[in-house]
Structure 1
Amino acid sequence: MTLDQFRHVADRALEPFVSLSTRLGITPDAISVLAFVLAAAAGGAYYQAGDAAIWYFAGAVLVALNGWLDILDGAVAREMGTDSKAGDLLDHVLDRYADIVVVTGLAAGLDRYALGLVAVTGVLMTSYLGTQSQAVGLDRVYGGMLGRADRLALIGIVTTVAAFVDISALGFGLVGWLLVVFAVVGHVTALQRFWGAWRALS
């Protein structure tokens, strides 16, 4: 069960922002690019958090804005009637780069590069299996233990807490354990999606 299944609720909350964007003539592609810029800024903030934990809070705000814009671009495209395969491609490519810079920033800030590598591959494989299912003729998969909406929510919550509270256990602080979760649960989610697609095709 993931937060992605509640996307329709977010779509209703987005209606005023969709109307504003269309009145201003802001294109979905521009929103996608802005979302990535905010994710890159979040990655930089998380890297700086290795020296000053308050940067975690700045990163959390930027991640929240990235997530908001990530669902706004699709809603605006549907409202304007400009949703297309090209726009979908751009959105997904930028989302993957956003995932990379955010998770890498978290790992680099802690100097945990090996853990970051496992975490980011788990994140990327989760997303890859979701779209690869569509590529072989099935519906796009959003299910599993940890989808993108769940990741963004976890990152925002954990890094907000980490900005003000220093908690550690077994050699890992809150952000370190967050990376462990991404490393383990990300790959489990990818395998869940693979197994579901495999069964559907068999």
Structure 2
Amino acid sequence: MLSRLKRRVEEGVAPLALALARRGVTPNLLTLVGLGVGLLSASLFALGEPLWGGLLLLVCGFFDLLDGAVARRGGGETAFGGVLDSVVDRYVDFLVLLAIVWGGLAEAFGISGLVWGG
């Protein structure tokens, strides 16, 4: 089920990824744009704006999907890019969770139960 959904999403993003790759947009640039959007998302969560923070988090996730698609379609897969993508993903995850707690949207220990407990 999930593999079928993943395949459909990748097929849906493929034309955009190919167009971006042909225009010289690098996967690393998209990763860094995603980091910027993730930081804005975390800022909004910290300010107690879960709706806007959540919407920007979805946009951040789209950039995360797109950077990998551009790398695959454009032949720009590199070891550095893979590490950069993974590190940026972890930083955004951490900062968003921290911002949710900071913004009073969840208890510090309650959120760990949510994350680890399902």
Q: How does 1:96-135 map to 2 (within 5 A)?
A: 96-110=90-104, 114-115=108-109, 119=112
Q: Does 1:17 align with 2:11?
A: no
* Displaced runs of 4 or more, over 6 A: none
Percent of aligned pairs with the same amino acid: 26
> For the residues of structure 1 that align with 2:107 and 2:101, how far apart are their CA atoms?
6
Question: Whose RCO is larger (CA < 8 A, sep 6+)?
Answer: 2
- What TM-score comes out, normalization by structure 1 length? 0.53
Q: As a proportion of its length, which structure holds more helix?
A: 2
Q: Secondary structure at the match of 2:103?
A: helix
- Unpaired runs of 5+ residues, structure 1, are 50-54, 120-179, 186-202
Aligned residues: 118
Contact 2:18/2:74 (8 A) holds in 1: no
Secondary structure of residue in 2 paired with 1:83: coil
Partners of 1:107 and 1:115 within 8 A in 2: no
Aligned residue identity for 2:46: Y
The runs of 5 or more residues in structure 2 that have no matched partner are none
Q: Distance in 1 between matches of 2:105 and 2:20?
A: 40
TM-score, normalisation: structure 2:
0.87
Q: Mark the structure with the bigger radius of gyration.
A: 1
Displacement, 1:88?
0.6
Distance in 1 separating the partners of 2:78 and 2:57: 26
Match of 1:35 in 2: 34
Change (3 A) 1:4 1:58: farther
1:111 is displaced (CA, Å) by 7.0
